[in-house]
Amino acid sequence: MAPTLPIFRFPGRTVPALLANTARRVPDRVFLWFVDPAAPAAPPRRVSFAGFREMVSRAAGFLEAAGIRPGDRVLLLAENSPEWQAVAVGAQLLRAEPVTLFASLAPGATEELARRVRPRAAFVSTAAQWAKLAPAAGHLHREGLTAILSVEPLAAETLPSGAHATSSAAALGEGAPRLAPSDFETRAAAVREEDPFLLLFTSGTTGRQKGVRLAQGTIVRAIDAGATATGSTERDLGLHLLPFGHVAGHDQFALALAQGHGLVMVARREDIPRALALRPTYLFSVPLVYERIRMQALGKIDHLPGPLRHLMRAALEAAARVRVDDARRAADRILARLADALVGRGIRRGLGGRVRGVFSGGAPASEALFRFFEGLGIPFVELYGMTETAGMIASNLFEGRRRPCVAGLVTPDHEVRIAEDGELLLRGPLLFGGYMDPADDEGAFTADGFFRTGDRARIDADGFLHVVGRKKHLLVLSTGKKIAPEPIETALASEPPFEGAVLLGEGRPFVAAAVFVAREELARLAARGVNAAEELLPRARAALAEFSEHEKPRRLLIVPGAPQDYPELVTPTLKVRREALLALLGSSVPELYAPT
């Protein structure tokens, strides 16, 4: 039998039970350090575990008074905050179903999803967020919306007649009505593993967004695996960056809640420096965040005089050979110490000075990114999951040898099968309970109950899972060659000055690529009077040295800037929507294949 991910079973099997246990055990320990964007000059707000339990008790009291009952939906459209989670867990305490939308969603998409959800209550952060729902307010009220909780005041004329708006300060602040402590304990104990945890929506990279219904037991099984994978303890202080529209943001929150360790919570990217000043012990984010750190470091090196630039590049490569490949040459070890002193020390200091490791999920990380952090002695731990599995399928281990471009060991809470076409199939208690709309379930499962992940994968002789790309994204060239674009795109995006890439070539005789390029680099090339696409093509192909010739692009199409500069092109998790990019590029794509 193949080895599986070691797990730790928490005694509480629902989020309310985990909160009750931890608040009882360490009531005065600080749980959340919230870097409040509304108070940029103030120190972070502290919320203890007992204090968070009180907020949840008030949220549950407010929702119950508003008529929320088991099975009702509570919509959350807000940036990250302690109040966000208090409302969500308060709804769970009533066995209602919290529903999260990305705060960054465009108004039209937000309104469409809200109409599908038909919430009985809603929590919004700002008037701008409510404005996304206001056009549908009358419809939502007729469908059952009766209570609106908001951080900012909402204009009365934007509210539907008969619905009541209450400020979060009045409903969740000190002095607000709450459940009695004994009532909280009783209700927390009554929540069952099959009761709702959260309804989240998929990113929609390949079609309309699907509502994924996760049960309490599912999220707890996810953190059972996450606890051993990350090696986290109650002494940790994590930097919480991921939005609550992303399932991984909930994994990190629930794990900290279960273990009793602290989180520094930020609501926007601009506040990350303030959060790092609190000296977190670990980070958990998507690869893009870590790529920026790497790119900044390499950018500084590229501005050094020629001999010193070559020396520093050689030092980073030697450090990776020593720590990843177990190289023993004395010259490599000397260069590795140089990389530690001149690069690693600065990165550790920039991350607060106490980081024991960084954890990455949500998208595949490149080998170059893995070797950069590992070479500097900063463990880079990659996890793999999806919304339908509460963010957990497999993981590498903080305590143990890690491998680049490997999803890791699969949790024993999944039964795994690889289909004839290479698709990864899963069955077991870590799966979601179905989609919100029954029509979305069609084709999602095999006849014997295995979930079709849509990912092509293999398991090696040591039991490690390798994900080789999305099944639906397979490019088929006119020559009959089939190519999985994701690994190639990841490798390209890890090579400066490229900030993202999308492979092209469906039905064409060869592969090309649309590459996002830093505007500074494009300005530099323009000043030299050279064609950027022709100049950068050799660098793109060199970054793909490990790939076959037919997988390397023969031509490039340049897109200025980074993917996140084009909101219409990216999902809330910053994945490029392939069809949206093709629509934007228009006739430029066929022109790539015109005879020269």
Task: Annotate 51-88 with three-state secondary structure.
Answer: HHHHHHHHHHHHHHHCCCCCCCEEEEECCCCHHHHHHH
Q: Which domains occur in the chain, in start order? A: 15-285 (3.40.50.980), 474-592 (3.30.300.30)
Return the closest-CA partner of residue 210 out of 390, 387, 423: 387
pLDDT digits (tens, 9 = 90+) for 422-448: 999 999 999 999 999 999 999 999 999
pLDDT digits (tens, 9 = 90+) for 28-55: 999 999 999 999 999 999 999 999 999 9
Give the pLDDT confidence score for residue 596 in this predicted structure. 65
Distance CA 229, CA 8 (A): 10
Distance CA 260, CA 34 (A): 16
pLDDT digits (tens, 9 = 90+) for 338-391: 999 999 999 999 999 999 999 999 888 889 999 999 999 999 999 999 999 999
Residues forming a β-bridge with 381: 359
Residue 463 tokens read as 């039991």
Give the pLDDT confidence score for residue 204 in this predicted structure. 59
Q: Where are the alpha helices (DSSP H) in 502-543?
A: 519-528, 532-542
Mean pLDDT of 502-525: 91
Residues forming a β-bridge with 463: none
Record the pTM.
Answer: 0.89
Give the pLDDT confidence score for residue 25 in this predicted structure. 98
> pLDDT exceeding 90 applies to what percent of the chain?
78
Whether omega before 572 lies within 30 degrees of 0, making that bond cis, reads: no
pLDDT digits (tens, 9 = 90+) for 537-591: 999 999 998 888 889 999 999 999 988 888 888 877 677 888 888 888 888 888 8
pLDDT digits (tens, 9 = 90+) for 514-552: 999 989 999 999 999 999 999 999 999 999 988 888 899
> DSSP letter at 576?
B
Number of H helices, E strands in the chain: 21, 25
Distance CA 227, CA 265 (A): 19
Which helix H or strand E contains 502, and what residues bound it?
strand 498-504
Give the pLDDT confidence score for residue 527 in this predicted structure. 92
> DSSP letter at 364?
P
Yes or no: say if 340 and 312 are a contact pair by the CB < 8 Å rule. no
Are β-strands 464-470 and 73-77 bridged in parallel, bridged antiparallel, or unpaired? unpaired
CA dihedral 9, 100, 383, 445 (to 10 degrees): 80
Residue 372 tokens read as 């950069």
> DSSP letter at 577?
-
Residue 206 has pLDDT above 60, yes or no: no
Q: What residues have CB less than 8 Å from 169, skipping those under 6 apart?
A: 151
